[in-house]
Structure 1
Amino acid sequence: MFLKLHKILPLALVLTLFFSCNEYQKVLKNEDVKAKYDMAEKFYEEKDFKRANRLFEQIAPKYVGKPQGERVLFFLADTYFQIKNYNFAGYQFERFIKSYPKSDKAAEASFLGAKSYYMLSPRYSLDQTDTDKALVKLQNFINTYPESEFLPEANAMAKELTTKKEKKAFEIAKQFTKLGNSYILDYSISAVAALDNFVSDFPGTVFREEALYLKLVATANLALNSTENRKQERLETAETAYNNLIKYYPETSFQKDANNLIEKINEQLAPYKAQEITSK
């Protein structure tokens, strides 16, 4: 008996799938909008989002301006999200919000639209256009729905994306600093500018301590390899960079290297300071 059931059950499953697919193909090809709507909802409830999406895509234009239009458009957007077509999902959620701004689903649509762009955000080393777009969408959601159940996740995503942008900007500045070690002064000049912009643009960044240390490195490279007519000014700038690092991070993890640099800076600054004392 068990062996017979063992053979019958797979056959029954195959037949069920066959008739289900056959029914789906028939509904997909006919003009009965109500039949498409019912089957689309059935697939959606069963989490068969790919087939549900295809049906919702067909019937969405037919329900514009009708009572079911709100439901259809939300499900269409969500099926795109569920099948990981995030470009279309973001676009369709935006359409939904514009069409039904007072919908009970408006907050969720706004969140999922923002999350769609979040999912498109690439690793930090690549172009961050989608990251910028996601941050704008997330901030709009956070400002518009501060009491939403999705707020903690939205804040976490915004923080992650901001850190990603910080890392990209920081790595660029870091690269200029490394290139400055080759004694090409233009790289050190670019490093100082990039690090100043970085600290200004991201005052709360987790990379702040290292950025202040790298500014010391860049200004020291610039000063120690400078021509005589700019040397004193640049040595003093490097001295200020060291003082800033120690002011904000008195127990910095870069203490040993920072102290080695300030010793070199002070050694070359000494004649200028002695001259100033003599001239007074």
Structure 2
Amino acid sequence: MKKILFLTFNFLLVTSLFSLSYLEETYNTGVKQFQDGNYKSAVDSFDAVISTATKKNRDFLKKAYLYRADSMSELLQLDDALKEYVKITEKFPNTNESLRARLGIGLIYYKKNNYEKAREYLLNFVKRFPGTKITDDAQYWVGMLHFKNKNFKKATVSFNALVRNYPKSDYAADGWLRLGDSYFNLKKYKQAKNLYRKVLAKYPASPQAEFALYSVGRVYETEGAVFDAISVYVQFAEKYPTSQLSPEITYQVAEYFYKKKDYDKAARYFEQIASNFPEHNLAEDANFIRSKIYYKTGQPAAAINSFQKFVEEYPLSKNYAEAMLYIGNCYLDSSDYKKAIENYNIGLKLETSDSEIFAMMKYNSGVACEKIGNTLEAEKCYSEILYRYPKSLAAAEMYLRRGSEFERSGDYFAAIENYELAATLSKNKGIGNAESINGLLSTSDENLGAVAQKKAADCYFMQKKYKEAAREYLKVVYLFSDSQYVPESHYMSARASEEIGFIKDAKQNYEIVKKRYSDTQWAKKATERLQELNKK
């Protein structure tokens, strides 16, 4: 009998130990699944713990209930999660799990976008339980609730309470960041910028520092301080090259340097986008503009290779036809006219809604045909441009060519007419020296309008029509203000004014050239003219 009792006791002991071991193992598995974001499996594991545990396993039981509710919340099974949290407050009152469940109820209403209920639960939690380890959580979510509902003034109050009352909270860094965001949305940019810099100073290694640095740049950009914004964005691109924010920010940096014609820096940042984010929708544009930089910096072989890779990688790209235009241009610039025509013809067969690309390919194809002596085909191309694309950049090129031909023959009236058409077309297309990042302009094209306008003024000057010449030269200055021809045009306007006795106007323009363009030959000439005029 004693032996039977002994065996029974051992059996019950082993069974109890096995049961505890199973519970602990299953519970730990569920915790790991939760931490790994595998919430569905975590729910199953905690279900197993709850169905197996007895009253003796109360500690495992209450924790399993809470984890199960949290898992449901993460899975956005909000109604089920809400029921579970309520059940925890009833089954395990006055416990840490009950406290967390109360917070969980507030967060469920937050996720449900039930503003009033969420505010009620979260504010009530902060008031009823001011000294707990999770009161800062509730305070943070009160702030987020106001922020989410665009009540930024109340958000500043809540986030201020968080960072002042709970400076060591896990939410402190995010609290400072959100406080900055709240002020930003209130258009209080100075306060916002100071708060973002505080995040950078206090939490330099935190995830929030990344967003804070970006936000400093965003403040500068909103204030119109473009240079300061770009300086910050450059820091961001260097420090966080693989950030989810990096493609757009790096693209802004690359675009900025591209427009400033700092092509080395632009190329580096475009390459960074293409290399780090090959699947991002900006990678295509980055690769395309990187190819253009090879062309603009006089590297035709590299440009051809880069554009060919581009059309192979992006056969459906909106920039396909333009890539073929640039490949043709590279061959044209290298005097390989047959290859140029071949690539232009490939591009002309493509479907594109951009008539500018077609017109430019037709024009350049005509130039190539002319170079190999096929004047008949060249004239066909030129005629088609003026007939089908009369307002295109290519037409402006045509009018500039015609103007030069008329000028050489001494027909200044016809020359001026064609030059003015070219200048007007190019100005209407936005050409001066300012190019949109995806514009069709080559380096020589950028000054097309300024060249045409200056040539029209030259024709007036050569005819001794000085009043008209003075006026037309000033058009170069004001319509094409970034052009390399501005110093010369200022000087020539002064010369024309001098010829008709407008000495005051002449002196004024000479002084402008002397002061603004002191490192040019025109400044030297202007100084000489001023000395001559002052002698009289």
Bigger relative contact order, structure 1 or 2 (CA pairs below 8 A, ≥6 apart): 1
Q: TM-score, normalised by structure 1?
A: 0.47
Q: TM-score, normalised by structure 2?
A: 0.26
